[in-house]
Amino acid sequence: MVRLQSYLQDQWMPGEGTPRVLVNPATEEPLAETTTEGLDFAAALAHARDVGGPALRAMSFAERGALLKAMSRALHADREGLLALSSQCNGATRGDSKFDVDGATGTLSSYAYLGKTLGEGRYQIDGEADKLSKGARYVGQHVRLPRPGVAVHINAFNFPAWGTFEKIATAILAGVPVITKPATATATLTHRMIQIIVEAGILPAGVLGFVAGPAGDLLDHLGPQDMIAFTGSAWTAAKLRSGAGVLQRSVRINVEADSLNAAVLAPDVGPGDPVWHAFVRAVVKDMTQKTGQKCTAIRRVFVPTDRIDDVVEAFSEELAGIVVGDPQRSDVSMGPVATASQLRDCREGINLLAKEAEIVVGGPAPVSGVGVADGKGYFVAPTLLVARDADATSEVHRHEVFGPCATVIGYDGTAETAAAQVARGEGCLVSSVYGSDRDWLSSFLFAAASWNGRVQVCSEKVADQVFPPGMVLPNQVHGGPGRAGGGEELGGVRGMDFYTNRVAIQGDRGLLKKILGTP
């Protein structure tokens, strides 16, 4: 069996003790094993801080961008191998695998281009100098400097490629070395990608570390200039945020957590309208892409009460065409969820929602996967529930079923009620709204937008152009308030804020101009 090794202090390290076995979630066949016991994380952090950090800080944005470009190219060169591995290890169809793997190379490439446009600078000048005294001589200039620490990246199981490299791209461009840790269950794909980058000899020593499994005491050794960028459940986030080291040494932490994202159908849209088709496509795509294991997936679908039957009919027709089974087969359109515990959580979650909503498609019962021995694999049926009265719901706004499941919820058709219902999720990564009536949209947006990191407005003139709302783009902010974690990632140059310190430097205008290289 393949042994995944961690890559720390520029060396591969196998770990000690009893390894955990990772399986193909479609067949339950063992594929790899890993352990991180016995690894010296204090030494790994010190190496990244002392060797990787200075090397990156000495480089210009353009040079750091060139590293990202080389990483993107090296990974893309083995795209077919990575897509096959993703399908085998993560239960992902070829389409799902492309979403993850191409998302990684695309984001690296996007940040590489940003580095090129930022050019020869090594840090960012933040705005104009402020005059601080009566004369023109004494001024204050804000600058954003790379933090002289290490970025520890902790990722969720659902995006072992994209989740890893969207964070790495931003940190390296900002000038900060990284130790990245995927979720153990899906670490095999990340391991292969790190191997490719190491073998290509792209990065200076100390810039990239990789932990192939549990974090052990890694976070106990973080210092005041280190950072944690975390993606995962709100429960783990709360635990990490309240860690003694994080609190006592003000370790900076960014959290991307669960989210009960909403799609809202406005009352001016009905069957036959192009906006209606975009709405149906988006919801069904989000329910089934990556078997619904997407932090940005639509979980709550708000529909004017008199449209519920039409919506359920349209969704049901589309969902009937979904073939669940071994994702390595080309006739399968949805694979299993990633782990046995994920399967258990999905089934329990559907049962919980079914206490206040009616199951109209699918449900929690065991499913046999096409091309898989009976009783094997972590398969869940695409599941649609309906709650006709929004006021009679509570769990649908609270409990995230991290699988192919969404609930249609009736509302009275007013923008105010729709916005209030979206807000019941207490903070979403993204919501989408489908309608073209400007007054209605305006009322909705101003009331609902602040409960989201991103809002997609799908109206008549863009209905054939919008991406599914679940798609995260490198130049747009990803994150959300409240239960979504309160964090922010990506957003082009904004993404680097987390990895830099803003410092106001005050002094003689002429002297500062020369030192900082400002025009």
The residue ranges that bind ligand NAP (CB under 6 A) are 154-159, 181, 183-185, 213-215, 219, 231-233, 236, 239-240, 256-258, 295, 400, 402, 429, 485
Residue nearest to ligand NAP (CB): 232
Set 89, 295, 346, 405: catalytic member:
295
**Token digits of residue 433:** 């709204």
Q: Whole-angstrom Cα distance, residue 10 to residue 177?
A: 12
Question: What would the DSSP string read from start to end of 276-343?
Answer: HHHHHHHHHHHHHGGGG--TT-EEEEEEEGGGHHHHHHHHHHHHHTPPBB-TTSTT-SB---SSHHHH
Shortest Å, Cβ 220 to ligand NAP: 10
Q: Whole-angstrom Cα distance, residue 271 to residue 267?
A: 11
Q: Which helix (H) or strand (E) holds 511?
A: helix 509-516
Shortest Å, Cβ 61 to ligand NAP: 25
Output 410 or 486, the one with its CB closest to ligand NAP: 486
Terminal alpha carbon distance of the chain: 59
- CA nearest neighbour of 380 among 400, 352, 361: 361
Output 22 or 172, the one with its CB closest to ligand NAP: 22
Shortest Å, Cβ 28 to ligand NAP: 18
Q: Whole-angstrom Cα distance, residue 13 to residue 53?
A: 21
Output 258 or 326, the one with its CB closest to ligand NAP: 258
Output 301 or 477, the one with its CB closest to ligand NAP: 477
Output 5 or 231, the one with its CB closest to ligand NAP: 231
Q: Whole-angstrom Cα distance, residue 317 to residue 280?
A: 10
* Residue 121 one-letter amino acid: G
Shortest Å, Cβ 213 to ligand NAP: 6
Q: Whole-angstrom Cα distance, residue 462 to residue 472?
A: 18
β strands within 184-275, DSSP E: 208-210, 227-231, 252-256, 261-265
Shortest Å, Cβ 292 to ligand NAP: 10
Q: Catalytic site residue 295?
A: yes
One-letter-per-residue 3-state SS of 48-93:
HHHHHHHHHHCCCHHHHHHHHHHHHHHHHHCHHHHHHHHHHHHCCC
Q: Catalytic site residue 16?
A: no
Output 101 or 463, the one with its CB closest to ligand NAP: 101
Shortest Å, Cβ 488 to ligand NAP: 11
Set 256, 400, 488, 489: catalytic member:
256
Contact 285, 470 (CB under 8 A): yes
Cβ count within 10 A of residue 29: 11
Give catalytic residue positions.
Answer: 256, 295
